[in-house]
Every structure is written in C-alpha cells, then in structure tokens.
Amino acid sequence: MRTPLLQVNDLTIRSVAQRKRLVADVSFTVSRGEAFTLIGETGSGKTLVAQAVCSCLPEELVAGGAVDFKGVNLARLPAKEKRRIYGKELFLLPQEPNSALDPVMLVAGQVSEIFRYVRRYDPQELRHTLAALFSDLGLSLSGNGRLYPCQLSGGMQQRILLAIGLAVPAEFIVVDEPTKGLDAISRASAVKKLKNLLSKGKTLLCITHDLSVARALGGRMAVMYGGYIVESGDVWQLLDAPKHPYTRGLVNAAPENGLIPIAEEVLAAMKTAWQNG
C-alpha cells in the first residue's frame, strides 16, 4: 500500500448566494506516484473538486469537509504558507487555455517564468531547456513562442499550457481537462506526456470527460454526476465492468462503443434518489 499524498474526506461545496449544494460527500485518496482520474460531464462538479483540492475555490463558494495534502489541511494554512507549497509541491493546471494564459504576454515568456522564478535556472540553461520542451510538444520556440495566445490555435494553446505543467517541479499535479479541443494525434501525445510525468514519480489528479484518457493513464478513477461520486475504483475494472447504470451509460455513449445516449430514466432515477438524501 502506497502512502496517501492527498486525502479528501466528505468534501462539500456550497454556494451561499444560491443556497445550493454543488458538491456533496466527495471522498477519495490519491497515493504517491499514482494517477487518479475524476470523470464526469459538464456541471458535475469535478472542476470544483480540483479547485478545492488546491484551495483556490471562487470566493463565493464555501467548502466543508477536509482536504489533507501530505497530512496538512490546506484550507487552514495561512496564505504565505500556501504560497510556499503552491507551484513547488502542488500545482493546478487549469482548463480553458483561453482564459488561463495571459493574453498580453508572449507564450514563451509565460512558460519560461517557471524556470526563471520557481526553478531558478540561469539564462543559457533556461533557453536550452525551453527549446527542448517546445520541440518536444511539436512547437517551435522561435516561431510559436514569439506569439500571443490569441495568435495560436486552440490545440496549440492547450499544448503551451501542458508545457507549463511539464515544467513545474511540483510532485502533485492537478490537470483539468488536458485534452479538450485536441485532435486524436495531439491527444495521444498529451496523454503520453502525462504518463511520462507518472514514470518520473509524480502524482496526477486528472479531471476529464474523456474515458480514453482515464484508460491510458490507468490507476484509479471516480465517476461524478451532479456533485456526487457515483462509482469509484480501479480504472480497468470500472470501465470494463461498470456497476452503476450511469457509468454503464457513459461507457456506451463513447463513439467507439456505439454512441448511445444515456437513458433519461437513469438520470431521472439518480435525481430522485438524491432528493431523498
């Protein structure tokens, strides 16, 4: 049994203004060196869980329950301590590169900040590493690097974001939708990069709606719907023999499994089950 790096217990997130529970009773542990994938559709609360794990929820939301990273509850740490951990031990790679990247800064500069200020490389070493990282992702430092995010295609922006994720020294990385908007080839290469991180001994919490990403990363996963965890377990076991009707529906909705929409009855049944607590 590997030691748990992250322990989430009964995490509940509510919106005070809307008087609504957005995430309820989410519990899972991520062990050192493994991949844990959270799968769910838009609005299932998976991004909120990622933000709660990194203790960077939007201000109007309140989190209950406990999130322990290396045995320390991040939410209770003073801001200065959090800042020390953030980026060096724990890192959140946000989704939507459109809003995550700085629109008025050249993309090469955004990636190089990690090497310059977090890893403290000297300029020559930095340029060399940066060029290698860019070409590794199929980009060129002198060409694409000298552009602003809006001048790049969605897939290229996503790869720039991934470059930042690969550059950080943090051992625990939360990646939110790393493959959204990528074509099959770039998706495969992005997943391969994530697997490389794993083989370097890093720990991943991957948020995605793409079942093939979960399969490729392996490890364990949890399926979320409407703010709850529906089912969790070993990736292969769960996807090959899903027990919950929703997970079964999700697997069958994938194009390679026949593109069958999830039955309305299944969704309706889950909604009533939750309303009754």
Partner 1 sequence: MAEQRVEKMADYCIRAENLTKSFSGKGRNNSKVLYRDLSLAVRPGEIVGLFGPSGCGKSTLGDILLSLQLPDRGNVFWNGVNVLQAGRKKRKALRPLFQKIHQDPGSSFPPHQLVGEALYDIVRLRNPALAGEGYRQQMAAAAQEVHLDEKLLDRYPIQLSGGEIQRFALARALLNNPVFLVADEPTSRLDYSVQANIIRLLMRLAEKRRIGILLISHDRSLLQVACERIMTLKEEDNKI
- Site residues, partner 1 (CB under 8 A): 41-43, 153, 155, 180-186, 209-211, 249-250, 253-256, 258-262
What minimum distance in Å lies between the beta carbon of 181 and partner 1?
A: 6
For partner 1, the closer of residues 153 and 237 by Cβ is 153
Residue with Cβ nearer partner 1 (176 or 210): 210
Q: Which helix (H) or strand (E) holds 160?
A: helix 154-167
In angstroms, what is the minimal distance from the CB of 162 to partner 1? 15
**Which phi and psi (to 5°) does residue 152 adopt?**
-100, 155
**Range 185-193 contact pairs with CB under 8 angstroms and sequence separation of 24 or more:** 186/138, 186/155, 186/158, 186/159, 187/212, 187/213, 189/137, 189/138, 190/158, 190/159, 190/162, 191/216, 191/217, 193/136, 193/137, 193/162, 193/166
* Contact assessment for residue 208 and residue 179, using Cβ atoms and an 8 Å cutoff: yes
Q: How far is the CB of 54 from partner 1 (least distance, A)?
A: 23
Rounded to the nearest angstrom, the gap between the alpha carbon of residue 272 and the centroid of all alpha carbons in its chain is: 29
Closer Cβ to partner 1, 18 or 153, answer by number: 153
**Residues paired with residue 30 on neighbouring β-strands, in sequence order:** 6
Q: How far is the CB of 161 from partner 1 (least distance, A)?
A: 16
Q: Which is nearer to partner 1, 55 or 144 (CB)?
A: 144
Task: Indicate the residue among 24 and 182 with the shorter CB distance to partner 1.
Answer: 182
Shortest Cβ distance from residue 121 to partner 1 (Å)?
Answer: 28
